[in-house]
């Protein structure tokens, strides 16, 4: 959705105070944060997060991805002060969250918006009433509430649904109300906890597009947790992969997608952009390079889509057949990215020159195995 924002919403963003370095300027920053939950009956203590360092720059979108139980929700709950860290420090817009008392924390939470997987709307209130709620709690006057809520309804595309109750809204519309409610107190940070997990793919896209618009046009910093790479690639510029309470990999989304380093990241990318080996081929693939076998090689194209031309010219150079076994071309973070699985004779005469050929062209390769 690309509707222009009304001028009265444009002041949601405040210019970040310039400080000594990037870390000091981070909108959200975690330093050596650990969280251990005390032992319960019959169980031991659980370390949900273990020495987490993370910084989210003002105006950026950071996606945190992890499996169930990896520690994602705990991370979000620490950032909005619902949980306190067992060790380490957490700053939001320069305020040390863990050092605050309950009253101060309530105040700071107004600068932190939050959206949820199941929307968490009050069923007894209309769309307007749900969006107005945090403002009523903050003691904002009726006229000011109206002046803030109506442009928000427009921003999320629900001006015509202002008097509908949650039961009368679709999942996507409910999440739009959730987003408007999160923005009502003009937060500097938006925390998104699996906000699209309950939505179908098309609605997910439209909600992510809305979040992208809000990020760009209001400059809102977004920290988003998810278990889906498709969400990360759609909206985030940076990603952190969390596993067993630790960040195992982090970086630019395009780099991580095209060169995943950690096994967890690779497993998240399994189905993405042709990385997966087709089942029929996987069943025949082995580690032994027997005489006469065919090598199966994954070639990753970053930023160039001349895949077909590269393969046919390799064929000519090797004087051998190079087969395309599977492939996909895609776009990640707005840049082209393709993966091709090729088969070629595994003899030294062919395989080594083929790998060199790709390396000369700056293309990454991986020999996945051999087919007799
Ligand atoms: N209040 C709690 N008391 C005890 N253990 C907890 C508590 N909250 C979370 N945990 C444990 O901490 C670990 C991380 O949980 P967390 O909810 O942060 O994971 P998650 O990545 O958000 O998972 P999911 O995607 O399933 O929500 C899990 O082992 C969980 O059982």
User: Could you report the per-residue pLDDT of 296-322, keeping only the tens digit for each?
Assistant: 999 888 876 566 678 888 899 888 889
- What pLDDT is attached to residue 307? 65
Q: How many residues does the chain have?
A: 372
- What pLDDT is attached to residue 271? 59
- What pLDDT is attached to residue 249? 95
Contact between residue 347 and residue 318 where contact means Cβ atoms under 8 Å apart:
no
- What pLDDT is attached to residue 133? 96
* CA 118 / ligand 1 centre spacing (Å): 17
More confident residue, 300 or 72: 72
- What pLDDT is attached to residue 17? 35
* CA 243 / ligand 1 centre spacing (Å): 12
HEC string of the chain?
CCCCCCHHHHHHCCCCCCCCCHHHHCCEEEEEEEEEECCCCCCCCEEEEEEEEEEECCCCEEEEEECCCCCHHHHHHHHCCCCCCCEEEEEECCEEHHHCCHHHHHHHHCCEEEEECCCCCCCCCCHHHHHHHHHHHCCCCHHHHHHHHHHHHHHCCCHHHCCCCHHHCCHHHHHHHHHHHHHCCCCCEEEEECCCCCCCHHHHHHHHHHHHHHHHHHCCEEEEEECCHHHHHHHCCEEEEEECCEEEEEEEHHHHHHCCCCHHHHHHCCCHHHCCCCHHHHHHCECCCCCCCEEEEEEEEECCCCHHHHHHHHHHHHCCCCEEEEEEEEEECCEEEEEEEEEEECCHHHHHHHHHHHHHCCCEEEEEEEEC
* CA 13 / ligand 1 centre spacing (Å): 32
Evaluate: CB of 71 within 6 angstroms of ligand 1.
yes
Res. 11: pLDDT tops 80: no
Chosen CATH of 276-371 out of 3.30.1280.10, 3.30.70.260, 3.40.50.10260, 3.40.309.10? 3.30.70.260
Question: Which tens digits make up the pLDDT trace of 91-139?
Answer: 999 999 988 998 899 888 889 999 999 999 999 999 999 999 999 999 9
The residue nearest atom 26 of ligand 1, judged by CA position, is 68
CA 164-170-171 angle, to 5 degrees, is 120
- What pLDDT is attached to residue 206? 95
Query: Which region among 153-167, 318-332, 355-369 has the lowest average model confidence (pLDDT)?
Result: 318-332
Nearest CA to 236 out of 262, 259, 254 is that of 254
Among 33, 67, 70, the mutation site with the greatest number of ligand 1 atoms within 8 A of its Cβ is: 70
* CA 99 / ligand 1 centre spacing (Å): 23
Contact between residue 117 and residue 198 where contact means Cβ atoms under 8 Å apart:
yes
Contact between residue 198 and residue 166 where contact means Cβ atoms under 8 Å apart:
no
Q: d(Cα 212, Cα 222) in Å, to the nearest integer? A: 9
Evaluate: CB of 68 within 6 angstroms of ligand 1.
yes
How far are the Cα atoms of 34, 283, 318, 346 from residue 349, in angstroms, in the given order?
53, 26, 8, 8
Domain ranges of the chain: 7-111+186-268, 276-371
Evaluate: CB of 113 within 6 angstroms of ligand 1.
no
- What pLDDT is attached to residue 305? 59
Helix axes 142-155 and 171-183, enclosed angle (nearest 10)? 130
Question: What atom of ligand 1 comes closest to residue 227's alpha carbon?
Answer: 25
Q: d(Cα 288, Cα 91) in Å, to the nearest integer? A: 53
Res. 9: pLDDT tops 50: no
Give the residue-averaged pLDDT of 201-210.
Answer: 95
The residue nearest atom 18 of ligand 1, judged by CA position, is 71
Question: What atom of ligand 1 comes closest to residue 73's alpha carbon?
Answer: 22
- What pLDDT is attached to residue 23? 64
Evaluate: CB of 46 within 6 angstroms of ligand 1.
yes
Res. 156: pLDDT tops 60: yes
Evaluate: CB of 357 within 6 angstroms of ligand 1.
no
Evaluate: CB of 343 within 6 angstroms of ligand 1.
no
* CA 47 / ligand 1 centre spacing (Å): 9
* CA 14 / ligand 1 centre spacing (Å): 34
Among 66, 74, 224, 242, the mutation site with the greatest number of ligand 1 atoms within 8 A of its Cβ is: 74
What confidence category does residue 339 fall into, taking pLDDT thresholds of 50, 70 and 90?
A: confident
Evaluate: CB of 87 within 6 angstroms of ligand 1.
no
Question: Which tens digits make up the pLDDT trace of 266-293?
Answer: 888 865 556 678 888 889 999 989 888 9
Question: Which tens digits make up the pLDDT trace of 207-249?
Answer: 999 999 999 999 999 999 999 988 998 899 999 999 999 999 9
Question: What atom of ligand 1 comes closest to residue 71's alpha carbon?
Answer: 18
Global pTM?
A: 0.82
Q: d(Cα 361, Cα 231) in Å, to the nearest integer? A: 31
* CA 98 / ligand 1 centre spacing (Å): 19
Kindly indicate whether the domain formed by 7-111+186-268 is annotated with CATH number 3.30.465.10.
no
Fold match between domain 7-111+186-268 and domain 276-371: no
- DSSP strand pairing (95-96 vs 112-116): unpaired
What confidence category does residue 187 fall into, taking pLDDT thresholds of 50, 70 and 90?
A: very high
Mean pLDDT of the chain: 88
* CA 110 / ligand 1 centre spacing (Å): 25
Evaluate: CB of 214 within 6 angstroms of ligand 1.
no
* CA 115 / ligand 1 centre spacing (Å): 18
* Those residues with Cβ within 8 angstroms of residue 298's Cβ, 6 or more apart along the chain or in another chain: 275, 339, 340, 341, 365, 366, 368
End-to-end CA, the chain? 51
Evaluate: CB of 117 within 6 angstroms of ligand 1.
no
């Amino acid at each position: 959705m690309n509707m222009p924002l009304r001028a009265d919403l444009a002041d949601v963003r405040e210019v970040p105070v310039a400080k000594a370095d990037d870390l000091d300027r981070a909108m959200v920053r975690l330093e050596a944060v650990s969280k251990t939950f005390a032992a319960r009956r019959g169980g031991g203590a659980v370390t949900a997060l273990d020495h987490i360092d993370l910084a989210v720059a003002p105006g950026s979108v950071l996606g945190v991805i992890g499996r169930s139980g990896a520690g994602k929700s705990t991370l979000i709950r620490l950032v909005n002060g619902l949980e306190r860290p067992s060790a380490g420090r957490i700053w939001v817009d320069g305020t040390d969250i863990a050092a605050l008392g309950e009253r101060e924390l309530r105040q700071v939470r107004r600068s932190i918006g939050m959206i949820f997987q199941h929307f968490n709307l009050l069923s007894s209130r209309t769309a307007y009433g749900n969006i107005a709620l945090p403002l009523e709690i903050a003691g904002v006057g009726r006229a000011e509430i109206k002046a803030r809520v109506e442009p928000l309804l427009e921003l999320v595309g629900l001006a015509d649904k202002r008097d509908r109750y949650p039961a009368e809204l679709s999942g996507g519309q409910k999440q739009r109300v959730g987003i408007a409610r999160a923005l009502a107190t003009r937060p500097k940070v938006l925390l998104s906890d699996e906000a699209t997990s309950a939505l179908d793919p098309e609605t997910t896209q439209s909600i992510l597009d809305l979040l992208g618009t809000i990020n760009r046009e209001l400059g809102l910093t977004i920290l988003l947790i998810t278990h889906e790479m498709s969400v990360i690639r759609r909206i985030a510029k940076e990603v952190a992969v969390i596993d067993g309470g630790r960040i195992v990999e982090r970086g630019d989304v395009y780099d991580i997608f095209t060169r995943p380093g950690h096994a967890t990241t690779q497993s998240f990318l399994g189905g993405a952009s042709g990385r997966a080996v087709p089942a029929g081929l996987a069943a025949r693939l082995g580690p032994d390079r027997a005489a006469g076998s065919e090598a199966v090689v994954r070639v990753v194209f970053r930023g160039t889509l001349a895949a077909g031309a590269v393969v046919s010219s390799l064929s000519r150079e090797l004087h051998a057949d190079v087969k395309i076994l599977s492939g996909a071309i895609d776009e990640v973070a707005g840049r082209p990215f393709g993966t091709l699985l090729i088969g070629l004779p595994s003899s030294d005469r062919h395989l080594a020159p083929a790998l060199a050929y790709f390396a000369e062209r700056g293309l990454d390769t991986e020999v996945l195995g051999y087919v007799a």
